[in-house]
Amino acid sequence: MSQACDISSCKRSSCAVCHCCQQNICLPHLKEHQDLLVSELNPLADQINALGDRLNALNLENKTGDARKKLEQWRVDCHQKIDHFFKEKCRELDLHVTGKVDKQGEEISRIQSKAAELIREQHATRHDLGLLKSKIRDLEREINKIEQTSFNIRSQTLKIDDNWIIIEELSKHGIDLSNLPPVYRTIEQSHESSVVMASNDHFLLIHQKPNLCLVDRHFKVLKHVLWSDDYICDMCWSSVLDRFIIINNTNAFFVDESTLSVEKIATVQGEKLYSCTCSDKSLYVSTSRFGSSIIEYTLLPSRQLIKHWKSPDSCQKDEGINHMRYNNGTLALLITKSPTEIVQIELRASKTFQRLWSLQLNIQSVHSTAFCCCPINDNEWLVTDHVKSHLIHITSDGKMKVMCAYNPMPVYPCMFGSDILAVVTVKGINFHKL
């Protein structure tokens, strides 16, 4: 006996089982089910077409443009380093010859003077003549050696390691302080250690009194070296030199990434240094008194002072620059105004020092480590407020995006590569995986 259609109010007998709803239904209702399913295909097709249009509309150059600029800058930097190394070796090669030639030239001058003196006095002993002849023979032998000297160059082929450049995909949202990932690693620091640090894509340089320590991305101390100079005021990384730069109140130092060897470099005498940062080509150093100056040095092909911005171009007479960082052609300055001690952040063009924007942070500085900043993704900025124990997120156009509590009290922020935020606190260094 045939079964009735499962659709309510239908009096017809069923003729099939619908595989979608597992109901016994009649032929007209089976067709209705099929038509309903087919009708859902058109919106789906429209969605697929819209996704295809979005994919075709993607501008790949816009997506890769900034990364290509970094690759191009890497290429230029490498060429500059090779050119610099080549010039140094050419100079070294020339010195091999010019040193010997200059030495023999001086000897010729002495012999000429002695001979001229004897001729002028019209008096010479057999001993004088013998001494002249002996010196001439010695001189002739040395010149023969120089004439017969040739040089061999032993060089190694430059081997490119694929790991020199690592391409990473970045989240469009960057750092979200309202949902900052929890601390997943901490390095303890003694209270006597400097709170500043500097990083490149592979290593973090920190101060663990009495040593400078190089930390890798697995948070292992790979190298350390004794730091016996004054308290470290600031650090930064120079990509063009492949060196860290450290300043204390009176001097600046290069720190080699491979060996951690420390080299003192010349600075403006009489200026008390406070903060430092690097662009692709320059080192910027700020001084610590009110009416702070900013001094710019070239890094290649040689270190030279090229600009010295003074008040009121750097800041007003009653203002002090407590921290600064370079990013993408700009300098962010954290400035304290006396006597209120209120802090503001300003963004300047690094070449012209033109003020692009300024934002008062309503932070009241109580000591020198009360606030510091670092660039984060999308040309935005992160500021630490040690007094109120906050992290402050500033947009690329100078607006306050988020302010969130952070404990323990934050002192100094630093991006470790593009995916790790390092924050020095009163208890140690916290690491957040973004």
CATH number assigned to the domain comprising residue 362: 2.120.10.30
Residue 170 lies in a domain: no
pLDDT for 383 equals 94
- Mark whether 246 and 321 lie in a shared domain: yes
- Mark whether 136 and 184 lie in a shared domain: no
Tokens coding 385:
């407020």
CB under 8 Å to 149, separation ≥6 — which residues? 97, 100
Check whether 10 has a pLDDT greater than 50: yes
- Mark whether 96 and 186 lie in a shared domain: no
pLDDT band at 370 (very low <50, low <70, confident <90, very high): low
- Mark whether 373 and 407 lie in a shared domain: yes
pLDDT band at 332 (very low <50, low <70, confident <90, very high): very high
| Kind and range of the H or E run holding 61 | helix 60-121
* Residue, of 101 and 259, whose pLDDT is higher: 259
- Mark whether 88 and 143 lie in a shared domain: yes
* Residue, of 276 and 33, whose pLDDT is higher: 276
What value does the mean pLDDT take over residues 223-232? 92
Of 110, 129, 149, the residue at which a domain comes to its end is: 149
Residue 3 lies in a domain: no
pLDDT band at 366 (very low <50, low <70, confident <90, very high): low
Residue 31 lies in a domain: yes
- Mark whether 104 and 218 lie in a shared domain: no
What value does the mean pLDDT take over residues 203-213? 95
What value does the mean pLDDT take over residues 262-266? 87
Domain around 424: 177-433
Q: What is the mean pLDDT of the chain?
A: 86
pLDDT for 52 equals 87
pLDDT for 368 equals 47
Residue 8 lies in a domain: no
C-alpha to C-alpha distance for 122 and 61, rounded to whole angstroms: 86
Strands (E), 209-258: 211-215, 221-226, 234-238, 243-247, 252-256
pLDDT for 334 equals 93
pLDDT for 145 equals 84
Check whether 307 has a pLDDT greater than 50: yes
Residue with tokens 């600029």: 69
- Mark whether 226 and 106 lie in a shared domain: no
| Residue 141: burial class (beta carbons within 10 Å; 0-12, 13-18, 19+) | exposed
pLDDT for 398 equals 94
Residue 164 lies in a domain: no
Tens digits of per-residue pLDDT, 108-151?
888 888 888 878 888 878 887 888 888 888 888 888 888 888 88
pLDDT band at 2 (very low <50, low <70, confident <90, very high): low
DSSP helix/strand/coil, 406: coil
* Residue, of 163 and 209, whose pLDDT is higher: 209
Residue 183 lies in a domain: yes
Check whether 266 has a pLDDT greater than 80: no
Kindly compute the dihedral angle of the four CA atoms of residues 387, 191, 277, 328, in this order, to the nearest 10 degrees.
-60
Nearest to 416 by CA among 187, 232, 253, 241: 187
Residue 24 lies in a domain: yes
- Mark whether 117 and 194 lie in a shared domain: no
Task: Tell me the range of 144-158, 288-302, 389-403 where mean pLDDT is highest.
Answer: 389-403
pLDDT band at 1 (very low <50, low <70, confident <90, very high): low
- Mark whether 75 and 115 lie in a shared domain: yes
What value does the mean pLDDT take over residues 400-404? 91
- Mark whether 97 and 130 lie in a shared domain: yes
pLDDT band at 363 (very low <50, low <70, confident <90, very high): confident
Look at phi and psi of residue 148 and say left if phi exceeds 0, alpha if psi is from -120 to 50, else beta: alpha
Total tally of structural domains belonging to the chain? 3
Tens digits of per-residue pLDDT, 417-430?
888 999 999 889 99
What value does the mean pLDDT take over residues 348-377? 83
Of 57, 84, 109, the residue at which a domain comes to its end is: 57
- Mark whether 144 and 271 lie in a shared domain: no
**What are the angstrom distances between the C-alpha of 170 and each of 69, 164, 173, 417?**
16, 18, 9, 11
pLDDT band at 56 (very low <50, low <70, confident <90, very high): confident
- Mark whether 130 and 199 lie in a shared domain: no
Residue 162 lies in a domain: no
**Residue 241 DSSP label:** T
Check whether 325 has a pLDDT greater than 90: yes
pLDDT band at 171 (very low <50, low <70, confident <90, very high): low
Check whether 367 has a pLDDT greater than 70: no
- Phi, psi for 132 (deg, rounded to 5): -60, -45
